[in-house]
Amino acid sequence: MRASFDDYRAMEQDVALDDIDAAEGRRLTMPVLALWGSAGLPSRLPTLEIWRAYADDVTGAEIPECGHFIPEEQPDALLGHLRSFLAHEASR
């Protein structure tokens, strides 16, 4: 729990650093897998488009019947997406 709370406490500084990187043209060059739950806030946002503003190679999917905690709520769906993503990347 401490690490999770630390992540939230660092959010303002983290976002500021992300904005600096974006303004200076720095982008993520590694493949990015974005997953989100159908019941969470990202389901109401253009999640893939947001990530594509920061990264060159983005894939992703909405996990049905899932909220914020994908590993706890839909572990099999998560595992399926991870296996597919990692197998694809390993074959490159």
**pLDDT for the residue numbered 84:** 96
**pLDDT for the residue numbered 82:** 97
What letter represents residue 23's amino acid?
A
Q: From CA 69, how far away is CA 78, in angstroms rounded?
A: 11
**Which CATH number is 40's domain given?**
3.40.50
Q: From CA 2, how far away is CA 28, in angstroms rounded?
A: 27
Helix (H), strand (E) at residue 62: strand 58-63
Reduced to 3 states (helix: H, G, I; strand: E, B; else coil), residue 34 is: strand
**pLDDT for the residue numbered 17:** 93
What is the domain range of residue 65? Answer: 2-90
**pLDDT for the residue numbered 5:** 87
**pLDDT for the residue numbered 4:** 81
Q: How many domains does the chain have?
A: 1
Q: Which residues pair with 60 in a beta bridge?
A: 34
For every one of its 92 residues, what pLDDT tens digit does the chain have, with 9 covering 90 and above?
888 888 889 999 999 998 999 899 999 999 999 999 999 788 899 999 999 999 999 999 999 999 999 999 999 999 999 999 999 988 88
